[in-house]
Amino acid sequence: MTLPPTLHAFSRGVTGIRAWQWPGDSPTTLLLHGIGNYARYWDFFADAVAGRLHLIATDARGHGESGQPTGDYAPQEFVADAVAVLDALAIERAVVVGHSMGGTHAIRLAATHPDRVDRVVVVDAGPEPLPEGAERARRLSLERPERFANTDEALAYLRRTSPGYTDEVYANRLRWLFRDEEGGLAWRSSRDALASIMTGARRGDLWEALRVIRSPTLVVRGTRSNVLSADVAQRMVKTVADGRLIELDAGHNVALDRPKELAEAVVAFAR
């Protein structure tokens, strides 16, 4: 059975950063989640890894229990936060696994800090997201209800907007997406942060970032993804110096749809 993770609290400047650490074998693997999500999104993946890797997952700024500064949501801020977490835990180099928004941050981290990144795993993210997925992310981030009266109401919203998951996944999302607030439930992620991230999102530089990455790079695509097309995934693999691609029978949230298969791929690649 996987041991429960330990919560760590760090800060970079005035912004607090929270990270969860699962004990395990080398190499250390840093997990970066997508927009609107949270560190414990990776729980099912961590269970499937089962101690074969030493895992660290961060709540990105504006998300989970990390700080929610005014502004300061440019991509380089997230990259600097990731480096600060590695520094705080005295980790010289890590495998970096990023999903969606976290995948774009993983690309930039590997490109700008090659001395800190052994290998990169980009999960269903790329320089040219499909319009359907981009619009869905915008809608779920910016048009969501501000709060819910109770857990039943919040759960019904999750089931309606993201159907098809197991009860365990919905329980995880209900636990970590919301906090109790004045007799109801409010989002842990900041709507202002999500709006700022989307307004400042720049993808054009990601092709150049991919060109300079020298770390072995694994691109993981969900075959039912509405974000990463097969064509873009293939082009990404050809752009990096040492790239490979795997496709899993999953939607955009590969770590929720196929945690065991993703874990096996990452463990094999990381070693």
In this predicted structure, the answer to whether residue 50 has a pLDDT above a threshold of 90 is yes
- C-alpha neighbours within 13 Å on the C-beta side of residue 204: 1
Q: Taking the CB of residue 98, how many other CB atoms lie within 10 A of it?
A: 27
Q: Is residue 180 part of a domain?
A: no
Q: Is residue 151 part of a domain?
A: no
Q: Is residue 123 part of a domain?
A: yes
Q: Is residue 28 part of a domain?
A: yes
Tell me if 241 sits within 8 A of 214, measured CB to CB: yes
Q: What is the CATH number of the domain that holds 73?
A: 3.40.50.1820
In this predicted structure, the answer to whether residue 148 has a pLDDT above a threshold of 80 is yes
Confidence of residue 1 (pLDDT cuts 50, 70, 90): low
Measure the CA angle with vertex 37, ends 36 and 39; round to 5°.
Answer: 145
Determine what percent of the chain is predicted with pLDDT higher than 70. 99
95: helix, strand or coil: strand
Q: Is residue 91 part of a domain?
A: yes
Q: Is residue 171 part of a domain?
A: no
Tokens of 187: 């989002």
124 Rama class: left (phi>0) / alpha (psi -120 to 50) / beta: left
Q: How high is the pLDDT of residue 204?
A: 75
For 196-225, write each residue's pLDDT tens digit. 999 876 777 999 999 999 999 999 999 999
- C-alpha neighbours within 13 Å on the C-beta side of residue 57: 24
Determine what percent of the chain is predicted with pLDDT higher than 90. 93
Q: How high is the pLDDT of residue 25?
A: 96
Q: How many domains does the chain have?
A: 1
Could you tell me the CA-to-CA distances from 154 to 96, 177, 186, 198, 237 in Å, in that order? 32, 10, 9, 24, 39
Beta bridge partners of 218: 121, 244
In this predicted structure, the answer to whether residue 137 has a pLDDT above a threshold of 90 is yes
Could you give the residue ranges of the DSSP H alpha helices within the chain?
Answer: 43-49, 75-88, 101-112, 131-142, 151-161, 167-177, 191-200, 206-212, 230-239, 254-257, 259-270
Q: In what order do the strands lie in the sheet with 15-22?
A: 6-12, 15-22, 54-59, 28-32, 94-99, 117-123, 217-222, 243-248
Q: Is residue 135 part of a domain?
A: no
Domain with 77, as residue range(s), is 6-129+197-270
Q: Is residue 68 part of a domain?
A: yes
For CA atoms 221, 58, 158, 166, the dihedral sign is positive
Q: How high is the pLDDT of residue 84?
A: 97
For 10-36, write each residue's pLDDT tens digit. 999 999 999 999 999 999 999 999 999
